[in-house]
Structure 1
Amino acid sequence: MEQEPELIARTADELVGDLNKQQSEAVQYRGAALLIGAGAGSGKTRVLTRRIAWILSQFGAWPSQILAITFTNKAAAEMRERLTALIGPVAQRMWVSTFHSACVRILRRDGKALGLKSGFSIYDSADSERLVKIIATEFNVDVKRYTPRSILGRISDYKNQLIGWRVQLAAYAPDFKPGSRNYRISKFDNVEELYAIIYAEYEHRLAMANAVDFDDLIVRTVELLRDHPDVAEYYHHKFRYILVDEYQDTNHAQYVLVRELGGVDSSEAPQPTAVAAGRQGPAWITVVGDSDQSIYAFRGADIRNIQDFEQDFPDAKTILLEQNYRSTQTILDAANAVIAHNEGRKPKKLWTAVGKGEPIVGYAADNAQQEAVWVASEIARLHAEEGIAYSDMAIMYRANAQSRSLEEALINAGLPYQLIGGTKFYERREVKDALAYLQAILNPADDVNLRRILNVPKRGLGARAEAIVLEYARERGSSFFDALMHMEQIEGMPTRTAKGLAAFRDLMASLSAFARANINKPSEIVAEVLSKSGLLEELQKSVDPQDQSRVENLSQLQSTAAEYEQKTPDATLGGFLETTALVADSDQLPDENEDSGKVTMMTLHTAKGLEYPVVFLTGLEQGTFPHSRSLEDTSELAEERRLAYVGITRAKRRLYVTRAAVRAQWGQANDMLPSQFLDEIPDELIDWKRREAGSERMRAGWGGDDEFGGWEEDDFLSGPVFGGGSYGSGSSYGSGRSGSASGGWGSAAPRSGSSSRGSSYGSGSGYGSSSRYGSYGRHGSGSASSSNRSGKVSTRHVSPKSAPASALHKDNGLNIADFAVGDHITHDQYGLGKVVEVQDKGRNSVITVDFGTDGVKRLMLRVAPIEKL
Structure 2
Amino acid sequence: MGPVLCDPQSLIKDLNPQQMEAVKYYGQALLIGAGAGSGKTRVLTRRIAWLLAHGFWASSILAITFTNKAAAEMRERLAALVGPEAEHMWISTFHSACVRILRRDGKEIGLTSGFSIYDTADCERLVKLISGDLNIDTKRYTPRMLLGKISDCKNSLISWQDQLKSVNCDYKPGQRGYQVSAGDVDELVAVMYAEYQYRLAMANAVDFDDLIMRTVELFQRCPQVSEYYRHKFRYIFVDEYQDTNHAQYVLVRELSGIDSGEQPDPHMRGAGRVGPSWITVVGDSDQSIYAFRGADIRNIQDFEQDFPNAKTIMLEQNYRSTQTILDAANAVIARNENRKPKKLWTALGEGDKIVGYAADNAQQEAGWIANEIARIHNEEGVAYRDIAIMYRANAQSRSLEEAMINANLPYQLVGGTKFYERREIKDALAYLQAIVNPADNVNVRRILNVPKRGLGVRAEGLVASYADAHGTTFFEAIEHMEQIEGMSTRTTKPLSAFRDMMHELAAFAKDHDTKPSEVVAEVLAKSGILEELQRSEDPQDASRVDNLSQLQSVAAEFEQNTPDATLAGFLETTALVADSDQLPGENEDSGKVTMMTLHTAKGLEYPYVFLTGMEQGTFPHQRAMEDTSELAEERRLAYVGITRAKRRLYVTRAAVRAQWGQASDMMPSQFLDEIPDELIDWKRREAGVERMRASWQDDDDEFGGWDDDDDFGSMSFGGSSYGKSDYSSSYGSGSRWSRSSYGSSSYGAGRSQYGGPATQGSSSSYGSTSRRSCGGSGTGSSYGSYGSYGSGKSGGKSGKVTTRRVKPKNKPVDLTKSSSASPAGSHNDLNIADVHVGDKLTHDHFGLGTVIETQDKGMNSVITVDFGNGEVKRLLLRMAPIEML
CA offsets per residue over residues 667-687 of structure 1, 9 Å max, x none?
111121111111111111111
- For 2:481 and 2:454, the matched residues in 1 are separated by 16
Unmatched segments (≥5 aa) in structure 2:
705-736, 758-802, 809-825
Q: Is 1:784 matched with 2:778?
A: no
Q: How does 1:48-63 map to 2 (within 5 A)?
A: 48-58=44-54, 60-63=55-58
CA RMSD of superposed structures (Å): 2.7
In structure 2, relative to structure 1, the CA distance for the partners of 1:421 and 1:607 (3 Å cut) is: same
- Aligned twin of 1:772: none
Q: How does 1:160-175 map to 2 (within 5 A)?
A: 160-175=155-170
- For 2:550 and 2:807, the matched residues in 1 are separated by 61
Q: Is 1:318 matched with 2:333?
A: no
CA offsets per residue over residues 292-333 of structure 1, 9 Å max, x none?
111111111111110111111231100010111111111111
**Letter matched to residue 314 of structure 1:** P
Q: Is 1:120 matched with 2:109?
A: no
**Letter matched to residue 454 of structure 1:** L
CA offsets per residue over residues 333-392 of structure 1, 9 Å max, x none?
111111111111111111111111111111111111111111111111111111111111
**Letter matched to residue 537 of structure 1:** E
- Aligned twin of 1:846: 864
CA offsets per residue over residues 17-65 of structure 1, 9 Å max, x none?
110000000001101010000001000000000000111222x321110
Cα contact 1:7–1:90 (8 A) shared by 2? no
CA offsets per residue over residues 103-122 of structure 1, 9 Å max, x none?
00000000000100121000
**Letter matched to residue 283 of structure 2:** G
Cα contact 1:272–1:279 (8 A) shared by 2? no
Q: Which has the higher contact order (CA 8 A, sep 6+)?
A: 1
- For 1:85 and 1:276, the matched residues in 2 are separated by 24
In structure 2, relative to structure 1, the CA distance for the partners of 1:385 and 1:278 (3 Å cut) is: farther
- For 1:327 and 1:462, the matched residues in 2 are separated by 58
**Letter matched to residue 143 of structure 2:** P
In structure 2, relative to structure 1, the CA distance for the partners of 1:615 and 1:147 (3 Å cut) is: same
Q: How does 1:765-784 map to 2 (within 5 A)?
A: 783-784=742-743
- For 2:696 and 2:288, the matched residues in 1 are separated by 43
- For 1:160 and 1:146, the matched residues in 2 are separated by 21
- Aligned twin of 1:143: 138
Match of 1:16 among 12, 16, 23: 12
- Aligned twin of 1:129: 124
Cα contact 2:828–2:881 (8 A) shared by 1? no
Shift of 1:661: 1.1
**Letter matched to residue 297 of structure 1:** A
| Count of residue correspondences | 781
- Aligned twin of 2:553: 559
**Letter matched to residue 807 of structure 1:** N
- For 1:235 and 1:295, the matched residues in 2 are separated by 31
Shift of 1:173: 4.5
Q: Secondary structure at the match of 2:626?
A: coil
Shift of 1:270: 4.3
Q: If the length of structure 1 is used for normalisation, what is the TM-score?
A: 0.86
- For 2:242 and 2:496, the matched residues in 1 are separated by 53
- For 2:842 and 2:667, the matched residues in 1 are separated by 28
Shift of 1:402: 0.8
**Letter matched to residue 136 of structure 1:** S
Shift of 1:859: 5.9
- Aligned twin of 2:673: 679
**Letter matched to residue 222 of structure 1:** V
Cα contact 2:435–2:505 (8 A) shared by 1? yes
- Aligned twin of 1:305: 299
Q: Is 1:191 matched with 2:195?
A: no
Q: Equivalent pairs: percent with the same residue?
A: 71
- Aligned twin of 2:59: 64
In structure 2, relative to structure 1, the CA distance for the partners of 1:380 and 1:212 (3 Å cut) is: same
Q: How does 1:209-608 map to 2 (within 5 A)?
A: 209-270=203-264, 275-608=269-602
Cα contact 1:331–1:651 (8 A) shared by 2? yes
Cα contact 1:49–1:83 (8 A) shared by 2? yes
- For 1:660 and 1:811, the matched residues in 2 are separated by 24
Q: Is 1:181 matched with 2:176?
A: yes
Cα contact 1:32–1:278 (8 A) shared by 2? no
- For 1:14 and 1:338, the matched residues in 2 are separated by 38
Shift of 1:277: 3.3
Cα contact 1:8–1:86 (8 A) shared by 2? no
- For 2:612 and 2:259, the matched residues in 1 are separated by 46
Cα contact 2:358–2:687 (8 A) shared by 1? yes
Cα contact 1:848–1:859 (8 A) shared by 2? no
Q: Secondary structure at the match of 1:801?
A: coil
In structure 2, relative to structure 1, the CA distance for the partners of 1:141 and 1:795 (3 Å cut) is: farther
Q: If the length of structure 2 is used for normalisation, what is the TM-score?
A: 0.84
CA offsets per residue over residues 409-443 of structure 1, 9 Å max, x none?
11111111111000111011000000000000000
**Letter matched to residue 199 of structure 2:** R
Q: Secondary structure at the match of 2:320?
A: coil
Cα contact 1:37–1:289 (8 A) shared by 2? yes
**Letter matched to residue 665 of structure 2:** D
**Letter matched to residue 745 of structure 2:** S
Q: Is 1:796 matched with 2:755?
A: yes
Shift of 1:407: 0.7
Cα contact 1:247–1:289 (8 A) shared by 2? yes
Cα contact 1:154–1:195 (8 A) shared by 2? yes
- For 2:325 and 2:834, the matched residues in 1 are separated by 40
- For 2:741 and 2:655, the matched residues in 1 are separated by 11
Cα contact 1:827–1:867 (8 A) shared by 2? no
- For 1:380 and 1:368, the matched residues in 2 are separated by 18
**Letter matched to residue 21 of structure 1:** P
Q: How does 1:658-697 map to 2 (within 5 A)?
A: 658-697=652-691
